[in-house]
Structure 1
Amino acid sequence: MNTKVKENYDIAEIMGTLYGAGTIGLKGAFSREWTAQLGEDILRLYEEALKRPGGAIGRGPKRHYVEIHPEDIRGFVDLVTHPWFQTVCESILGSDYKIVEIGFDVPNPGAVNQPWHRDFPSPEDTYKGRRINSLAFNLTTVDVDPDMGPFEIAPGTQWDDGSGFEHLMFPARELYSRYEELAERKMPKMGDISARSALTMHRGTANNSTKARPTLVLGVDAPTANNHERHDLQVTKKFYETLPTSLKKHLMCRLVDELEVIEQAHDIELLKMGEA
Structure 2
Amino acid sequence: MTTLDRTTTQYDPAAIMGAIYGDGITGLKGAFSREWIARMGEDIDVLYRAALQRPGGTVGRGTNRHYVEIHPEDIRGFVDLVSHPWMVAVCTAVLGPDYRIVEIGFDVPNPGAKDQPWHRDFRATDETLVNRRLNSLAFNLTTVDVEEDMGPFEIAPGTQWDDPSSYDHGMFPPTTLYERYSSLAQRKTPKMGDVSVRSALTIHRGTANTSQKARPVLVLGVDAPGAGHDQMHDFQMTRAFYASLPTEVQEHLLVRLVDTLEPVVQGHTIEGLMMGDA
Q: Which residue of 2 aligns with 1:29?
A: 31
Using the size of structure 1 for normalisation, the TM-score is 0.97
Asked if 1:90 corresponds to 2:92, the answer is yes
Alignment of 1:255-274 (within 5 A): 255-274=257-276
Name the structure 1 match of 2:191.
Answer: 189
- Same amino acid, percent of matched pairs: 66
Shift of 1:274: 4.0
Q: How does 1:49-68 map to 2 (within 5 A)?
A: 49-68=51-70
User: SS of the counterpart of 1:163?
Assistant: coil
Match of 1:109 in 2: 111
Q: Secondary structure at the match of 1:78?
A: helix
Q: Which residue pairs with 2:174 in the alignment?
A: 172
Instruction: State the partner residue of 2:132.
Output: 130
* Whole-Å separation in 2 of the counterparts to 1:131 and 1:49: 36
User: Residues 228-267 of structure 1: matches in 2 within 5 Å?
Assistant: 228-267=230-269
CA distance in 1, matches of 2:165, 2:84: 36
- Provide structure 2 residue ranges, at least 5 long, that are not aligned to the other structure: none
Query: Which secondary structure does the structure 2 equivalent of 1:100 belong to?
Result: strand
Q: Could you give the per-residue CA deviations for residues 16-73 of structure 1, whole angstroms, max 9, x where no partner exists?
A: 0100000000000000000000000000000000000110111001000000000010
Give the counterpart letter for 1:37 in structure 2: R
Partner of 2:12: 10
Can you list the C-alpha shifts for 1:55-104, whole angstroms capped at 9, x where unaligned? 01110010000000000100110000000000000000000000000000
Structure 1 match to 2:154? 152
Amino acid at match of 1:248: Q
* C-alpha distance 131-214 of structure 1, shift in aligned 2 (>3 A): same
Structure 2 match to 1:76: 78
Secondary structure in 2 matching 1:54: coil
Partner SS for 1:64? strand
The Cα of 1:188 is off from its aligned counterpart by 0.2
Take 1:207 and 1:114, find their aligned partners in 2: how far apart are those partners?
11
Q: CA deviation at 1:4?
A: 5.1
Tell me the residue number matched to 1:275.
277
SS in 2 for 1:65: strand
Aligned residue pair count? 274
Using the alignment, how far apart are the partners of 1:124 and 1:137 within structure 2?
Answer: 23
CA RMSD in angstroms, aligned pairs only? 1.4
Residues 5 and 83 in structure 1, CA contact (< 8 A), matched pair in contact too? no
Conserved 8 A contact 1:5-1:82: no
**Deviations 1:98-126 (CA, angstroms, capped at 9, x unpaired):** 00000000000000000000000001110
Q: Are the aligned partners of 2:63 and 2:277 in contact in 1 as well (CA < 8 Å)? A: no
Out of 223, 227, 230, the residue aligned to residue 229 of structure 2 is 227
Cα 1:236–1:6 change in 2 (3 A) is farther
Distance 1:217 1:4 in 2: 21
SS of corresponding position for 2:120: coil
Amino acid at match of 2:205: R
| Aligned-partner residue type, residue 173 of structure 2 | P
